[in-house]
């Protein structure tokens, strides 16, 4: 069933100047749904890794920058601290560290890669893509390399794209990275957004496997472009290229309608889990660990409640890293794997929502 039939996403946010700036298309409901057809290759995650910049920015630090408090941030979001990249670090620097760790974990050399996908909204520059920069720095072969832009759902979109390339035999070994340097597009005078965001990167190596019972067994992708205005960065693209005016109007920073996003986040992630369960014929109790996008602890708890999940089966690390957009789910997956929370035979789900608006999830059997 199309996602837009299930998601009551029709309510509109209050029209603002932002809508004029973004020019969203009026009928952008869209479903992109996919799974590995029988008889094709399965795609297995053979290694993961993540890298966080060393600098920690605590809630106490933020109290000195904007009118906020540690108590408010913890109570409303669950976040205690976040990491901030050094001034000289860009997305490809963070991506390189995470990619090396994932490749080591997978006992895979860069020379074995035949596709590189990087999910990000804060690449080093508009072009060339961060994936191309990463290919060069890894010393990988001259294979396909591209960035995937789907906001916080980016890693899921990229992982599902890797799955499809592997399923059809177009690729055997794919590097998938989620990386953000959100501190560069954060308005540090806006307390409604700056307390939520952080920098970080994670990576996974996905390989073709003949073991059909394991791997990424299903994927669900969705988007609703009519809601793009709820989470966007107006300046810097072809609509509003950089000018003195765009700088003065602070258009090169992330803008967000937090309350509207909150509701869509809960609905879309809960429905994505249900759709994934339907696709693979499983029940909620079959999921060993749910790994949701780390945007707000209250969103995660609301998703768990809708699904009748106890929180001990839901992975949370938002307190340490805040929202690193497309990097959160892969960072969380690596932490969950390395702390022994996932074992052979376990079913896990990664689920996210983000700018676009987008949402999506993958079911993985280990
Ligand atoms: N410190 C203190 N007070 C604050 C802060 C802050 N940092 N931020 C907002 N407030 C105030 C507001 O001004 C408001 O005050 P008022 O009642 O006097 O007007 C009050 O707190 C309540 O504001 P709400 O917006 O209703 O607070 P809410 O509980 O909804 O929390 C939040 C806001 C945390 C933004 C929440 O809506 C949320 O998490 N939304 C989803 C955000 C998200 O997931 N975005 C997507 C990811 S971002 C990305 O993609 C990179």
Q: Where are the alpha helices (DSSP H) in the chain?
A: 3-6, 17-22, 59-63, 70-77, 91-105, 130-138, 154-168, 191-194, 244-248, 258-280, 297-306, 318-321, 328-338
Give ∠ CA 355-226-11 in degrees, rounded to 5: 105
Sign of CA dihedral 56, 60, 65, 69: positive
- Residue 226, C-beta contacts closer than 8 angstroms, at least 6 positions apart: 12, 24, 25, 26, 27, 28, 29
For residues 38-66, give the mean pLDDT. 95
For residues 246-266, give the mean pLDDT. 96
Confidence of residue 52 (pLDDT cuts 50, 70, 90): very high
Average pLDDT, the chain: 90
- Residue 84, C-beta contacts closer than 8 angstroms, at least 6 positions apart: 53, 55, 56, 57, 183, 198, 199
Task: Check residue 212 and give its pLDDT.
Answer: 83
Reading the block at residue 357, the tokens are 């608006």
Q: What is the distance in A from the centroid of ligand 1 to the CA of 14?
A: 17
Lowest mean pLDDT across 22-36, 55-69, 71-85, 244-258: 22-36
132 is catalytic: no
Instruction: Write the pLDDT tens digit of every residue in 114-154.
Output: 999 999 999 999 999 999 999 999 999 999 999 999 999 99
293 is catalytic: yes
Tell me yes or no: is domain 42-209 CATH 3.20.20.100. Answer: no
CATH 3.40.47.10 range(s) for the chain read: 42-209, 215-235+248-365
For residues 102-111, give the mean pLDDT. 98
**Contact present, 128 and 146 (Cβ < 8 Å):** no
Q: What is the distance in A from the centroid of ligand 1 to the CA of 66?
A: 13
For residues 93-115, give the mean pLDDT. 98
Task: Check residue 39 and give its pLDDT.
Answer: 72
For residues 153-171, give the mean pLDDT. 97
- Least Cα distance to 23 among 260, 263, 240 occurs for 240
CA dist 268 and 358 (Å) reads: 9
252 is catalytic: no
Q: Between the CA of residue 263 and those of 23, 82, 349, 354, what are the distances in Å?
A: 23, 24, 21, 12
Residue bearing the CA closest to ligand 1, atom 3: 68
Instruction: Write the pLDDT tens digit of every residue in 271-321.
Output: 999 999 999 999 999 999 999 999 999 999 999 999 999 999 999 999 999
Catalytic residue among 4, 152, 165, 194: 152
Instruction: Report residue 119: phi and psi, to 5°.
Output: -90, 125
Superfamily covering domain 215-235+248-365: Thiolase/Chalcone synthase (3.40.47.10)
What number of residues does the chain have? 366
Confidence of residue 33 (pLDDT cuts 50, 70, 90): very low
């Amino acid at each position: 069933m199309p996602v837009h039939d299930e998601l009551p996403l029709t309510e509109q946010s209050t029209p603002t100047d932002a809508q004029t700036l973004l020019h969203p298309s009026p009928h952008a409901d869209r479903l992109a749904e996919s799974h590995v057809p029988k008889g094709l290759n399965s795609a297995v995650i053979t290694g993961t890794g993540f890298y966080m910049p060393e600098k920690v920015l605590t809630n106490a630090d933020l109290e000195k920058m904007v009118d906020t408090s540690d108590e408010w941030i913890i109570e409303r979001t669950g976040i205690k601290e976040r990491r901030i990249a050094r001034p000289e670090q860009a997305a490809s620097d963070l991506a390189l560290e995470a990619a090396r760790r994932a490749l080591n974990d997978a006992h895979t050399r860069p020379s074995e890669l035949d596709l590189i996908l990087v999910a990000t909204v804060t690449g080093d520059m508009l072009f060339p893509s961060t994936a191309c920069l990463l290919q060069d720095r890894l010393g990988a072969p001259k294979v396909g390399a591209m960035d995937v832009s789907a906001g916080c759902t980016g890693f899921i979109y990229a992982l599902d794209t890797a799955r499809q390339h592997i399923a059809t035999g177009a690729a055997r070994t794919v590097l998938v990275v989620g990386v953000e340097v959100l501190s560069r597009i954060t308005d540090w005078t806006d307390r409604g957004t700056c307390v939520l965001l952080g920098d970080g990167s994670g990576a996974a190596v996905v390989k073709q496997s003949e073991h059909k019972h394991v791997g990424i067994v299903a994927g669900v992708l969705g988007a609703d472009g009519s809601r793009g205005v709820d989470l966007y960065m107006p300046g810097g693209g072809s609509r509003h290229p950089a000018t003195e005016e765009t700088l003065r109007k602070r258009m090169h920073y992330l803008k967000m309608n937090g309350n509207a996003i909150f509701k869509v986040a809960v609905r879309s992630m809960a429905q994505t889990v249900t759709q994934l369960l339907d696709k693979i014929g499983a029940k909620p109790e079959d999921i060993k660990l749910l790994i949701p996008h780390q945007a707000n602890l209250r969103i995660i708890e609301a998703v768990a409640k809708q699904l009748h999940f106890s929180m001990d089966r839901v992975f949370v690390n938002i307190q340490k890293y805040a929202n690193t957009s497309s990097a959160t789910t892969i960072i969380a997956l690596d932490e969950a794997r390395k702390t022994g929370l996932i074992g052979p035979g376990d079913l896990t789900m990664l689920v996210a929502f983000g700018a676009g608006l987008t949402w999506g999830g993958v079911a993985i059997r280990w």
